[in-house]
């Protein structure tokens, strides 16, 4: 049995920010990371940038990105389903977080090739999220934080109306005077996902860590903690169907849809591929594919589309005829040929301009393709497989502006939460690139400061 000032449950960005803040006040801190060392960092190891407000150039960020613009960007993706006070707090605090991150070992770089649209709003981590996680673990070690890997918390003891201990799966009891819950969402628990979404969810791929199984979230909710966010919803994008079940991360994204014709298992089209530019549409395609039979779809392009999108990690199938592609994808050659013929017949003359809405739409086709509609007529033809990929779940713990967790009978006096486990308080739906790291950093730091003040 051990006794710590602050027990941090989780080992990703939010957990590390909380642990560092608390340890810097002299508190005796332990991090309980459920993953083994090489998989530490939760979904943070797959991230790449931090969306940051700034009133003028800041580190690698150019220009200005003020609170109003940032908040408007957020409202656009969440369709208003956001807590304005917490959201504005995260946005305002992000500006002071960036220098704090640099002081604690995070190195930033300019936006990566292919992400120029983010160079004013998002600061990229040199080496990506795992490099950030490495820097924070080194920092926490130097501050004397105890770090336990393979330490999965099974139960958080709140029986006295306050946190007394975390109990690990092996029965070890880690006692503490305060707790920070930062153990992520439940997207890697496929049973939970299936209960929430329906049986289709069994075919979903999980883009991030297999260790976010929501055990702590479930346990705390079962003890009466107040939840926010729609339990049936998850952030779900269309990714490469051949990606691994878990942990495929960034490389499994597939950006070909706007320049492709997309069909389901039966060779039929089901949605306008050219509705908008891909960064604004990739998130809805996860749901679209999820509603198709077997939760699978196929994107078909011809030679003309090669080089218009980021290279996929898995080579597409390739054939000189549409039937050939159909065969390689396991589709009916007749249906696909017919779908392509109908689509080609509906294409009209006009100027094709990739990357911007060019208005080159089909004529009389249902569903239409409203931009970038060029006939598929130049072999070789390429085929890509699409499946829904879950990034994170929205269900979370309700917290105050000081990250304090709402229990069954009011605020829990010594429990704070940060990161994905409470992000539902801010993100009701949709997602804004780099905002998860903003929430994790801002509320991780607040949770660490509050916990340290409580025990200090």
Binding residues (CB under 8 A) for other proteins: these are: 38, 45-46, 48, 107, 109-110, 112-114, 125-131, 134, 137-138, 244, 247, 249-251, 253, 307, 310-313, 315
How many helical (H) and strand (E) elements, i.e. helices and strands, does the chain have? 10, 19
User: Smallest gap, in angstroms, from Cβ of residue 264 to other proteins?
Assistant: 25
3-class SS of residue 346: helix
Integer Cα distance of 82 and 425 in angstroms = 7
Task: Quickly list DSSP for 251-319.
Answer: GGB---GGGSEEEETTS-B-S-TTSS-GGGTHHHHHHHHHTSGGG-EEEEE-GGGTTSSPPPSSPPEEE
User: Smallest gap, in angstroms, from Cβ of residue 143 to other proteins?
Assistant: 14
Dihedral over Cα of 54, 56, 60, 62: its sign? positive
Integer Cα distance of 145 and 164 in angstroms = 19
User: Smallest gap, in angstroms, from Cβ of residue 180 to other proteins?
Assistant: 23
User: Smallest gap, in angstroms, from Cβ of residue 432 to other proteins?
Assistant: 19
Query: CA dihedral in degrees (84, 88, 91, 96; nearest 10)?
Result: -150
First CA to last CA distance, the chain: 22
**CB nearer other proteins, residue 110 or residue 375:** 110
**CB nearer other proteins, residue 105 or residue 324:** 105
**CB nearer other proteins, residue 251 or residue 277:** 251
User: Smallest gap, in angstroms, from Cβ of residue 135 to other proteins?
Assistant: 9
**CB nearer other proteins, residue 46 or residue 104:** 46
User: Smallest gap, in angstroms, from Cβ of residue 116 to other proteins?
Assistant: 13
User: Smallest gap, in angstroms, from Cβ of residue 111 to other proteins?
Assistant: 10
- Residues facing 180 on adjacent strands: 8, 416
3-class SS of residue 176: strand
**CB nearer other proteins, residue 38 or residue 409:** 38
**CB nearer other proteins, residue 250 or residue 319:** 250
Integer Cα distance of 147 and 138 in angstroms = 11
Integer Cα distance of 112 and 124 in angstroms = 7
Size of the chain, expressed as the number of residues it contains: 456
User: Smallest gap, in angstroms, from Cβ of residue 186 to other proteins?
Assistant: 21
**CB nearer other proteins, residue 130 or residue 162:** 130
**CB nearer other proteins, residue 192 or residue 278:** 278
Rg, C-alpha atoms of the chain:
23
User: Smallest gap, in angstroms, from Cβ of residue 141 to other proteins?
Assistant: 9
Q: What is the DSSP letter of 57?
A: -
Dihedral over Cα of 396, 400, 403, 408: its sign? negative
**CB nearer other proteins, residue 283 or residue 310:** 310
Cα 371-432-66 angle, rounded to 5 deg = 110
């Amino acid at each position: 049995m051990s006794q710590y000032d602050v027990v941090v449950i989780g080992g990703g960005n939010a957990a590390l920010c909380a642990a560092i803040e608390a340890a810097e006040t002299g508190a005796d801190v332990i991090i309980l990371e459920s993953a083994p060392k090489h998989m530490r960092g939760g979904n943070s190891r797959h991230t790449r940038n931090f969306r940051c407000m700034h009133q003028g150039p800041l580190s690698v960020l150019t220009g200005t990105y003020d609170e109003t613009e940032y908040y408007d960007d957020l409202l656009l993706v969440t369709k208003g389903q956001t807590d304005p006070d917490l959201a504005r707090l995260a946005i305002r605090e992000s500006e002071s977080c960036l220098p704090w991150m640099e002081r604690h070992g995070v190195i930033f770089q300019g936006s990566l090739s292919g992400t120029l649209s983010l160079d004013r709003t998002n600061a990229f981590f040199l080496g990506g999220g795992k490099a950030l996680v490495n820097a924070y673990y080194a920092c926490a070690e130097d501050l004397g934080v105890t770090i336990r890997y393979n330490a999965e918390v099974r139960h958080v003891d709140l029986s006295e109306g306050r946190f007394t201990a975390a109990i690990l799966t092996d029965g070890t009891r880690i006692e503490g005077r305060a707790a920070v819950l930062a153990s992520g969402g439940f997207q890697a628990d496929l049973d939970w996902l299936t209960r929430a979404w329906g049986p289709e969810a069994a075919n979903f791929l999980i883009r991030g860590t297999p260790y976010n199984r929501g055990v702590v979230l479930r346990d705390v909710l079962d003890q009466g903690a107040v939840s926010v966010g729609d339990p049936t919803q998850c952030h779900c994008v269309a990714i490469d169907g051949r990606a691994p079940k878990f942990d495929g991360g960034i490389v499994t994204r597939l950006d070909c849809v706007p320049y492709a014709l997309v069909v389901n298992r039966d060779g039929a089209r089901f949605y306008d591929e050219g509705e908008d530019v891909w960064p604004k549409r990739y998130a809805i395609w996860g749901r679209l594919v999820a509603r198709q039979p077997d939760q699978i779809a196929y994107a078909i392009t011809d030679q003309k589309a090669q080089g218009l999108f980021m290279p996929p990690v898995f080579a597409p199938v390739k054939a000189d005829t549409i039937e050939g592609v159909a065969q390689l994808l396991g589709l009916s050659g007749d249906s696909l040929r017919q779908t392509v013929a109908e689509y080609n017949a509906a294409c009209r003359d006009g100027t094709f301009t990739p990357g911007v809405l060019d208005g080159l739409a089909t004529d009389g086709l249902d569903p239409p393709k409203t931009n970038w509609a060029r006939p598929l007529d130049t072999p070789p033809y390429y085929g890509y497989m699409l499946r829904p990929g879950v990034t994170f779940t929205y269900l979370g713990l309700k917290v105050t502006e000081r990250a304090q967790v709402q229990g069954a009978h009011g605020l829990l006096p010594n429990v704070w939460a940060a990161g994905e486990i409470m992000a539902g308080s801010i993100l009701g739906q949709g997602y804004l690139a780099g905002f998860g790291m903003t929430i994790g950093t801002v509320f991780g730091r607040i949770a660490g400061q509050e916990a340290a003040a409580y025990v200090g």
